[in-house]
Amino acid sequence: NAGVMQNPRHLVRRRGQEARLRCSPMKGHSHVYWYRQLPEEGLKFMVYLQKENIIDESGMPKERFSAEFPKEGPSILRIQQVVRGDSAAYFCASSPGAPNSPLHFGNGTRLTVT
Partner 1 sequence: SQQGEEDPQALSIQEGENATMNCSYKTSINNLQWYRQNSGRGLVHLILIRSNEREKHSGRLRVTLDTSKKSSSLLITASRAADTASYFCATGDWTGANSKLTFGKGITLSVRP
Decide: is 85 part of the binding site for partner 1 (CB under 8 A): no
- Provide the CA 1 distance to its chain's centre, in angstroms: 21
What are residue 95's DSSP bridge partners? 31
Q: How far is the CB of 41 from partner 1 (least distance, A)?
A: 6
Cα 48 to Cα 45: distance, rounded to the nearest angstrom: 8
Q: Which stretch binds partner 1 (CB under 8 A): 11-19, 63-71, 77-85, 94-102?
A: 94-102
Q: With contacts defined by CB under 8 A, how many residues of the chain interact with partner 1?
A: 28
Nearer to partner 1, 14 or 58 (CB): 58
Residues of this chain, 30-49, that bind partner 1 according to CB under 8 A: 31, 33, 35, 40-45, 48
Q: What is the DSSP string of 50-83?
A: ETTEEEE-TTS-SSSEEEE--SSS-EEEEE-S--
Burial of 68 (0-12, 13-18, 19+ CB in 10 A): middle
Give least dist CB 81 to partner 1, A.
Answer: 27
Helix (H, G, I), strand (E, B) or coil at 86: helix
**Between 14 and 39, CB nearer to partner 1:** 39
Q: Would you tell me which residues interact with partner 1 (CB under 8 A)?
A: 4, 6, 31, 33, 35, 40-45, 48, 55-56, 91, 93, 95, 97, 99-108
